[in-house]
Structure formats: structure tokens, C-alpha cells
Structure 1
Amino acid sequence: MRNYQTGYSMIDTIHNPDKNEFNEKYGKKGIPVLLKGIMDNWAATTKWDSTYFKTRFTHTEGIAVRNLDTTDKRKMTIGDYFNYMESTDDLDPYYLKNTQFHLETDMTKDYVVPSYFTNCLDIIKDKLPLAFQLSWMYIGSTNTFSGLHLDIFNTSAWNAVISGKKIWVFYPSEQAQYLYNGVVNPFNPDLVKYPEFAKAKPLVCVQSPGEIVFTPSGWWHAVYNEVGGVSITENYINDTNYDVVKMTLLYHNKLEEAKIVDSCMQHYMSTK
């Protein structure tokens, strides 16, 4: 594992900003930031422990995938994954990510989305299939990771750590030429195969429980679970990233989706 905790620039840290401060400093400018003090009153921070998942989700299943061999997938219950996570010594462990079981429960009452992360699509949330509700749970053992990627349709995102510890690396769009379209593993790069990656200079973040990371539109990023645990992430569209998202949808010929976003944004702006 490449050591990103020394010798690299860190993203900013800010404590419980109001909507105007966040948007002026980070949201509108598209700058990643670590936010503290926001989750202090979330029920999830004390409620969502391993016992909670093991006892409540004994029959709810998910698909866990190995990081290095993504063809190796394993169906298991959420409870069983926690047993696996707490005992595994796999060199390439399974990762239970992109799960949405929480959306079909009352778990959404256990956290509060900050106002600056409001999603304009929320006005039609009840009509959207789960896949388009842009909310996911990530449950991963130590040494699991999400590789280099851009978020769906260049939306922005927030990620809240309930337990565990994550290391983030961020690359702005001007460094995309060094990233091999995300194929290179930034945590153990093969510089013989991907020599240009040596020129990439990331911004780094170390995220602990009770902290939220903001990922702006258009930033390549990857996330490593230095300590296994639970996090929740949601993507969103609002006035800080609408233009980028719409342009991306049109570029990919997602005309119907662009119309829906247009309609939702008009409603969102009328209620601001």
C-alpha cells in the first residue's frame, strides 16, 4: 500500500459550516473538503454497530465483490458479512458496497442530510426506482477499497463514516491524463505498466468516524478502508453542480434524464 499520509497535500477541514459558508468556499468552487461536527446528533453514529446489523439483517442479502478479482462475487446476508468482516485475513477481501437495503427500512431516519447537500431529485424520490435514488451503504473490511472513478453523471457526493477509517485520494480533471481512465490502482500502482501515473499529485484525506467527505463534480477519486467499517454515501444535484450534470447527461445522450433533472431543478430553485 502506497503511503499517502505523509508527503502529500491534504484537503481542507471545516467544522459544521452553514449553507452559505459551505457553498461559497467549497460547493460552488468544486473543492473537496472534510467536514466535522455535522454527525454529532445522528442516531446512526451509536445505533449502527455490528450487533445492530447482525441481529436486524439476518435474511437481507447483498453481493460482496473482491477488489482485485471483480469477477469473484459472493452473495451473503448483511449479518453474515459482518461476521466475515470481523474475522477475515483475506489478502483480497470481499467488499459489500453499493448496497441500498437501508432505503427500504427506517434507517433513513437515523441521519440528517445537511441543507447544502439537498438533492433536487428528492421531490420525485417516491417515484424513482432504488437505483436512481443515489444513496448507498458501504460495508467493508480492512484493506477493501473503491478504485479510481468519477461519480455517476458528474454528480457531487457526500460520504459519512459511521465506523472504520478511510484514506481518500483526489485528482482534479487536469490530471486525468495521468490516470489511465481509472484502470491504475492508486494504492498499489504498477508504474511499469502505467508510468504516467507517477506524475499524478493527489489531494489526500484521512476520514474517521463522525466525519463527512465532500466530493465535488468532476474529481477523480479512490477510497481505501485502512480500518474496516460502515459508511453511507449519497450523490446529489443542485444549483452548485447542475450545469455540469446536465452537460454530462446530454453528452451521453441521456435526453429523458436531462428533462427530468431540468424539471426538478426548476422546482428546487423556486423553493429556495
Structure 2
Amino acid sequence: MTTAEGFAPAKLNLTLHVTGQRPDGYHLLDSLVVFADVGDRLWYRPGPEMQLEVTGPFALGVPGDARNLVWRAAQACGWTGHIHLEKNLPHGAGIGGGSSDAAAVLRDLAGPVSAALDLGADVPVCLSGAPQRMQGIGEIVNVAPTVPRLDLVLVNPGDHVPTPRVFTALAQKVNAQMDDMPVFEDRAGFVEWLAAQRNDLQAPALSCAPQIATALQALEGADLVRMSGSGATCFGVFPDRQAAQAAAMRIAQAHPQWWVRACQSAGAARG
């Protein structure tokens, strides 16, 4: 019986502006999202019953039943069989995790796009690996056509930061949206624009998990340092792959208990 393979990349919020809050409690966002070449892996083997096997360095605590978004995404596809999920990304880390896994299932099993938002606010943006601007509660997604490929280092100090707690700690719920995105002629122009943007959840996340500050400090020397999503993963933008790999090695040696990865983000497709 044929086994198909899938990949669920880490999702990075290079920016995350909180622009409002709806009466139902959902926050309105304006975020530039890219995807890295590190992530979870999935294998699919069709069969009469649904089964989910979870392995990998971050398998502990990940449910292997209908509580998992992978299971629910497969159900939305009308598919049954055995799915092997290899969890290589820390969960509760602000880099997609379960949302990227669910999007991979919808993509790999040709599921309905309409099911994405029902699975989670971050799932629609994860359906594509291209850089995208995500707005609203996650339902408004547009390709960011001139975002370049980036050399990055991802650092997670091991803190699990519950997203609802971070949003609760956010004092100002209505903030300015991202600046208009110009046509980026080169990487330097993009990084300059990016530095003028924000992650509005960084300060409240720091109040919940002070170790995030240590992770940000460890990335000093990068062209830009910021937290992704609601944390606790932080990223540094480096000039090239060699510089990113050297920085990752230095940080991993200094903090062997942290999750540290050098990686590249996918750039926009050029015509």
C-alpha cells in the first residue's frame, strides 16, 4: 500500500500588528507571514480506520486522537487511514505547529479550503508556502509578491506561552496596521522596511515569560531580531547562510537546552 509524504513548515510572523478586537473576543491582526525550511513531517497510508501516530523530539503531550488538528483535518478531507506525524517543532511556540500540520493535511489530501478557518485562525495562511499578508482574524490572506528569501536563526528557550494569556496581557487592543508594502528591489530594502514594523505581542509575552528576553539577546548581531507570533520563539535575520549557521552554533553551545535552528524562509515566486 502506497505511503505518501508531507511537510509542515514552521510559520514565522515577521510582523504582528494587533489592530482591534471584535465583540466576540477575536483579535484583528495585520501580519506578514513567511515559512521556513524546517518543520514537521507527515506520512499517509490509506486504510479503513483513522489512526494517528506521533513521534519525534516534541511528541510528548501531543494527542494522537480527534483532539489533534491533524485528525480533524483528515476528517474534513473525508479520508481515513494511518497518519504518522513527526513533531520536530516545539508546540506552543508561535511558529504554527498544529496549524501548519493541519494545513499540510488539507493540502496533501486535497481537502476543502473552506475547512481551514474552522480548524484554526492560522490554518488558512498555512495552506500556501509563499510569503503572505494575513489580516482580519486570519481569513484575509494575500500573497506578498516581492518578499525575498531570508537566512534566519530560530531560537526557542523552552517556555510554553499560552496565546490567550498573551492577548490578555496586551493592554492596547487597537494599534496601527502595517505600513504599506512597497516593491522590494533587494533584501536590504526589505529588512529596512521590516525593522519599522512591530510585533505587538512581544511586550506582553515578555511579561509572561521573561526568558524570551534572553533569547532575543542571544540573537544580537543579526540585522533584525524579533519574536514570532505570541512566542516564545524568536528569530534573527542574518546576512547569509554562513552567518546564520555560525550564529546558531554559537547560541546552541551557550544554551544547549534551547531549540536552535538555522534555516531559510521561502521567498516570493518571481515571474
TM range (shorter): under 0.3
Q: Name whichever structure is richer in helix by fraction.
A: 1
The TM-score, its normalising length taken from structure 2, stands at 0.24
The TM-score, its normalising length taken from structure 1, stands at 0.24
